[in-house]
Each structure stands twice: as structure tokens, then as C-alpha cells.
Amino acid sequence: MATQSTNVMPTTSATAGNLGAELKPPGEAAAQVKPCCVCKDEKAARDECMLFSNSSDPQEECQSLVGKYKSCMAGYGFKI
């Protein structure tokens, strides 16, 4: 038995803004991301500063990087 393929033509034209629109799941699932997958550069800079600091108080020295990481995570809805 032969299967028949149905081609569905989009109702809108493809633009740079909507090329990936069909790839994203609908609703709230599209907005959810894992904390391990965001703010990687900020996390790496924070960790490097804390681990390799020569200061007697690395927490004080790296406070700005920790703040950048926290604000980045907050931008994705994570509260640290």
C-alpha cells in the first residue's frame, strides 16, 4: 500500500524572525531552560575567579562576577 504525503504550505513567508518558529514547542515549554545551559560564560568567569584568586578574601574580590552571574540567571527566571 502506498502512503500519500501531504505538503502543507505555510501561510506566512519565511523571515529571519520566524525561521525557527516551528521548532519551538508551544506554550510554557518553549520558555523553560535548564540552569546548566545558560550563563555559561558568566559562570566560568565566576568560578575561575573564586578558585584561582590569590586574595585573602576571594568572595569580596569576585563579588562583581558573582553579581553578573546572578543577574544573568535572574534574566532566565532563576533565583539564586
Q: pLDDT (tens digit, 9 = 90+) per residue, 20-70?
A: 555 455 555 445 889 999 999 999 999 999 999 999 999 999 999 999 999
Q: Binding site annotation covers 37? A: yes
Residues 38, 73: contact at Cβ < 8 Å? Answer: yes
Residue 74 confidence (pLDDT) above 50: yes
As a whole number, mean pLDDT of residues 4-26 equals 54
Query: Does some domain include residue 55?
Result: yes
Query: Does some domain include residue 44?
Result: yes
Sequence-separated (6 or more) residues with CB below 8 Å from residue 67: none
As a whole number, mean pLDDT of residues 66-80 equals 94
Q: Binding site annotation covers 36? A: yes
Residues 62, 49: contact at Cβ < 8 Å? Answer: yes
Query: Does some domain include residue 59?
Result: yes
Domain of 68, in residue numbers? 40-76
pLDDT at 58: 94
pLDDT at 32: 81
As a whole number, mean pLDDT of residues 9-17 equals 56
Q: What is the pTM of this model?
A: 0.60
The tally of domains found in the chain comes to 1
Query: Does some domain include residue 69?
Result: yes
Query: Does some domain include residue 54?
Result: yes
**Would you state the cell numbers that stand for residue 6, as one nine-digit string?**
501531504
